[in-house]
Amino acid sequence: MPPGRPLLYPMTVPGVQPHATGYRRAMPRPAPPPADADTLMARALALAGHPLRTVADRVDMPVPPHLRRHKGWVGQLLETALGATAGSRAEPDFPHLGIELKTLPVTPDGRPRESTFVCTAPLDGSIAATWEDSWVRRKLSQVLWVPILTPDGSAPGDRRVGAPILWRPDPEEAAQLAADWTSLAEHIALGHLHQLHARHGVALQLRPKAADAATTTWVLDEEGETVRENPRGFYLRPSFTAAVLARRLYMPR
C-alpha cells in the first residue's frame, strides 16, 4: 500500500447513477455474493468516494433523514451493496470468505467517532473457555473495514464512503485482543459483572447493549444464581480502531 493513501477515492465508478428522488423499488436489490476476497475488495474500492445516497440508489434502499431510529442502516446498506449473506446468523458477514464487514464513522480527518460493536456477550454461562474458541476472535480474524466520513451534523445520505481496509490482526493487536477478552470473560464467567467498568480493556471493552435501561436478560451471578441484568456487548475502543486506520492508511493518530 503506498504511503499517503487517501481516505477518499475519486468518484469514478461506472454504472452508479446519480441520486433520483421520488422513485424507489419495493425491495432492495442486493449485490450477489463476491466470489473471493479480491472481488469483495474491488467492490468496496468502487464505492469509495461516493455519498451514501448514491450507494442507496444503486441498490434501491430508502435513505432515512436521520439515524435515531435507524442505527443499523449504514451497515445494512453496505452489506446489501457488497453482497453480504450472513444476515443475523452467527457467522461472518461473508461466510464463504470468513470475512466480517465493519463500517466505522470517522471525522473528516479520519478519526473514529465511536466504539465499534463486535458481538453480544453471552452472560448465561455459555461463554467460550478460551480466546481461540471465542466468537469475538472469529469475528475479528479478518475484517473489511469501511470508514464512513461523517462530518458534524451531516445527514445520512450526505456521508461518504471512505477507502476500505481488509484487515487481519497483527501479532501485537491479536495479543492485546486476547488479553482483554480473557480478562473480561473471566469476570463474566465468575458472575462479576458489577466489577467491570469503562476502564477495563485496552482494545476491547464490555458495554451495555440495549435500546433502553429497562431491557434485561438472565445472567449468572457470583453465587451461580440467575438474575436479571442489562445485556452487554463486546466493543472495540476508538483508540484501537484509530490505530488500525493509522497503520494501514498512513494517517496521524
Q: Which CATH architecture is the domain 37-249 placed in?
A: 3-Layer(aba) Sandwich (3.40)
Q: Cα separation of 127 and 130, whole Å?
A: 9
Each domain of the chain, given as residue ranges in start order, spans 37-249
The predicted structure's pLDDT at residue 36: 97
What's the whole-number mean pLDDT along residues 116-143?
92
β-pairing verdict for 100-106 and 143-149: parallel
What is residue 219's predicted lDDT score, i.e. its pLDDT? 64
In this prediction, residue 89 carries a pLDDT of 75
Report the C-alpha gap between 61 and 47 in whole angstroms.
15
Note if the pTM is more than 0.95.
no
Beta bridge partners of 146: 103
String of DSSP letters for the chain: --TT--SS--S--TTPPPP-SS---SS--PPPPPSSHHHHHHHHHHHTT-BHHHHHHHHT-PPPS-STT-TTHHHHHHHHHHT---TTSSS-SBTTTTBEEEEEEE-TTS-B-S-EEEEEPP-SS---SSGGG-HHHHHHSSEEEEEEE--TT--GGG-EE---EEE---HHHHHHHHHHHHHHHHHHHTT-GGG--TTS-SSEEEEE-SSSTT--EEEE-TTS-EEEE--EEEEE-HHHHHHHHHHHHT---
pLDDT at 175: 98
Q: Has residue 14 got a pLDDT over 90?
A: no
Is residue 159 predicted with pLDDT exceeding 70? yes
Q: Give the pLDDT confidence of 53-85 residue by residue, as tens digits.
A: 999 999 999 999 988 888 899 999 999 999 999
- Closest listed residue to residue 161, CA positions, set 54, 16, 24, 35: 54
Q: What pLDDT, on the 0 to 100 scale, is given for residue 99?
A: 97
Q: Which residue has the cell 480502531?
A: 241
Task: Work out whether strand 217-220 and strand 116-120 pair parallel, antiparallel, or are unpaired.
Answer: unpaired
87 close to 72: Cβ distance less than 8 angstroms: no
Q: Does residue 6 register a pLDDT over 50?
A: yes
The segment with the largest mean pLDDT, out of 8-17, 122-131, 178-187, 188-197, is 178-187
- pLDDT category at 3 given cuts 50, 70, 90 is very low
State how far the Cα of 162 lies from the Cα of 107, in Å rounded to an integer: 11
Cα-based distances in Å from 181 to 166, 174, 212, 221, 240: 22, 10, 25, 19, 14
Closest CA to 158 of 91, 99, 230, 108: 108
Predicted pLDDT of residue 222: 62
Q: β-strands 165-167, 160-161: how paired?
A: unpaired
9 pLDDT higher than 60: no
Say if residues 47 and 161 touch (Cβ distance below 8 Å): yes
Predicted confidence at residue 85, as pLDDT, reads 92
Question: Given a cut of 80, is residue 32 above it in pLDDT?
Answer: yes
pLDDT interval class at 249 (50, 70, 90): confident
What per-residue confidence (pLDDT) applies to 195? 78
